[in-house]
Every structure is written in structure tokens, then in C-alpha cells.
Amino acid sequence: MSKRLLYIAFHFPPIQVSSGVHRTLAFSRYFSEHDWKVRVLTADVKAYQQWTEAQYKFIPDKVSVVRAFARDTARHFSFKGRYLGWMSIPDRWQSWILGGVWAGYWQIRRERPDVILSTYPIASAHIIGYFLHKLTGVPWVADFRDPMLQDAYPSNPAIRSVFAWIEKKAVKHCKKIIFTSPGAVELYQTRFPDVEPDRWQLIPNGYDSKLFDALPEVPKQDAQDEKITLLHSGTIYPAERDPRALFQALSELKQEDQLLFGKLKLVLRATGHDELFAPMISEYGIGDMVELAPGTDYLTALQEMLQVDALLLMQASNCNYQTPAKAYEYIRAKRPVLALTDPSGDTASVIRQSGAAMVAPLDDVAAIKKVLREFMQAITQDAFRYLPDSDIEAFSRQHQAKTFCSLLDKIVQQ
């Protein structure tokens, strides 16, 4: 007999630009294929700043969708670009809370689920999950993914207060709270020492094997005959992935070793902040080495990862409790990875498991120069070796979904 899941997620097709959608999509697909009747409670498409009809095709056939009233405060409730601050607490989509609770409650009355699952990074989803749990008594699981409250985030005191309230409600009422990295689990075990350890669960991010398997085979570039292309795919957040130390290192290496670094082409695809980085690139005199490339659709982005010579990962030490999904996609791509991140952080720990990664701190110019020399030489000498496919499968979202599915099954059996 099928079990029923109400999956509360803001990011869901046809939203176009958010990386947060892929975890929900892969999990909902897997659950629906393994004896779970999945109904996703998400937002009205008007709440999405960017969406396209083409994205609807990614919704799994067996997954049904309920779209609740939601609007973006910044776009729909502002006057001349300004709006009341309280209207964006805990996020710009707070209107979804009322719409989601209303739609979710009547959906539960029509077809009672066995579990309510809410997922970050939109905090309003957890508030909806909490109220629906309180109104109906259906067991609640919260997929926090990353820590909500961090030392300097969020900086707004009112939002911090609401985030703290969400954490306390989740700790009191959730059957399980899920995180994507060991550091996040340890952080919350310290923050809430009286909570039994089994309440915190680790289910990492991953790559979607079905999407990768559907990509056509393409020949890789020959790094000995052509320029060596190093790709960063996706948003570069100015605070969390600041590229200035990398830019300075490239500028200096360009002068010191033109023979080797004259071959390097760094492609920054869909940074989201080209207007900020373009002047930096010009200032450091590396315009002939660095290309700011426009965004593309997700499948094309995955295809590009398979074609380039190497991949760039950036993550500051203030994100040590987070591991971007990109790290797992890079492992699946089986390309050399230059990881500019804290060597002691969770991201470095994951990417080292690829067997084809070199790591240096994001803000250390000297260390970046040293590792870049070694990285370039290893590429030209074809020195990197990759994990066998059987080992790479452990990093897939399907593998993580199997663990998640077992966890939900146990909750129903209790």
C-alpha cells in the first residue's frame, strides 16, 4: 500500500535559475517510484522571478503539485522599489505562508499524508510545515540542508529572531531534522545538546544520475594541443566565493610563467555578478585569460562540465558547514577539480574523495599560486586518476534518496 507524502518546497519547476530545486526534484522522483504517493506543495508561479514553460517537463510523472498563493514582496508589494521591512520576514515570500497553510490544510483534509516534509532554503517552507503539523498532527520532517542561524547570518536582527524561533519549533516538533554536511550536524548537536542524537540526520547533496546518464557522449578536449579550459559553473557570491585572490594569483602567474599559464582559459559561467567581476578582471590585467560567460540551461551546463579540461570550485571558510551540490556534479563529471576552499572544511573533505582534486584556501594568494602550478602541470601530464563508476554512484542523489526513503518508512512504522 502506498504511503503519502506532502512535500513543502518553494523551489520547484517551472522555476528556472535556482540550484535549490534539484534536491527536491530528485527526491520526489525517487520517493514516487518507491511506494510513496508524493504531492508537492509549492508556490504560485507568479512568485518566481524567472521561469519558463520548458521547465515543466522536469516534474516527475507520478508527482502531483499543489500551487498555493504566493507573491514576491520586492516585486509585487513595493512602491518605487521600496517596501516595509516586516513584509520580507523571514523572506520575501512570506505571503506564501498564509497561502501554503490554507492550501495545505484543505489538501490534508481531502487526503491525509503519512508525513509532512518541508525543505529549505526558503524559511517560509518550514513555517508552513510547522503550522500544518500543529493543525493536523501529521508527523513533520524538516530538511534544513544547511544551518539556518550562523555567526554572521542572517544579519537582520528580526530575521535572526524568526530563524531562531523556527529552529526551536523544529527541535520540539520534528521527528527528524536533515542536514547535508557533517559539520552542520555537529553544530546543531552542540547548539541543542539535550536533543537525542538520532533526531539529527545526515543526507548529503549529490548529482542526479538520471540526468547525467541521459547526456550524449562527447569527446574531451586534448589539453596538450589546445588551451586548458578551467570552468566554474554557477553563481559566484561576492562574500562566500570571492575570486579576488584567484584573480591576483592569475595576474602574477601570467607574468612569471607565460609559457604554462598562457595556455589557461578560465570560464566563469553564469556568475550572477558579472557587473562586479568585470572591473576586477580588467584591473588585474587578466582579460585575455578570464571569460565571463552567460547562463545556460541546466542540462547544457552539465554537458559543459563533461567537455572542459578542469573544474573550479570556490567556497569560503564561513561556509564550512555547507557543501554545494556542484561538488558532487564535479565528481560525477570525472574531471580534475581545483577547489579553493578551507582545507579543513566539509567541502574539501568531499571533493578530496574524488581522487582528482587539489585544494587551497580561497583567500591565500601564495597558496593558490602554488597549487595552480601543480594543477596545470598535472593536467598537461595527464596525471589525474578518477574513481570507478561503482564508487561514484555513492555520491548520487538516488543513493541519498534511498537513505531518505528508508528514514521516512521508519517514521510511518512507528
pLDDT tens profile 303-312 = 999 999 999 9
Does residue 86 carry a pLDDT above 70?
no
| Superfamily (CATH H level) for 3-206+396-413 | Glycogen Phosphorylase B; (3.40.50.2000)
Task: Check for a shared fold between 3-206+396-413 and 211-389.
Answer: yes
Residue with cell 490544510: 105
- Rounded mean pLDDT, 28-57: 93
* In the chain, where the domains are located: 3-206+396-413, 211-389
**Domain 211-389 CATH assignment equals 3.40.50.2000:** yes
The whole-angstrom separation of Cα 318 and Cα 320 is 6
Decide: 333 and 215 in contact? Cβ < 8 Å.
no
pLDDT in tens, 109-127: 999 999 999 999 999 999 9
The yes-or-no verdict on residue 371 having pLDDT over 70 is yes
pLDDT tens-digit map of 261-287: 889 999 999 999 999 999 999 999 999
Mean pLDDT over all residues of the chain? 92
Q: Exposed e or buried b for every residue in 64-96, given b needs 16+ CB within 10 A? A: ebbbbebbbbeeeeeeeeebeeeebbbbbbbbb
Residue 341, classed as helix, strand or coil, is strand
Which residue in 50, 2, 53, 60 sits closest to 28, CA to CA? 60
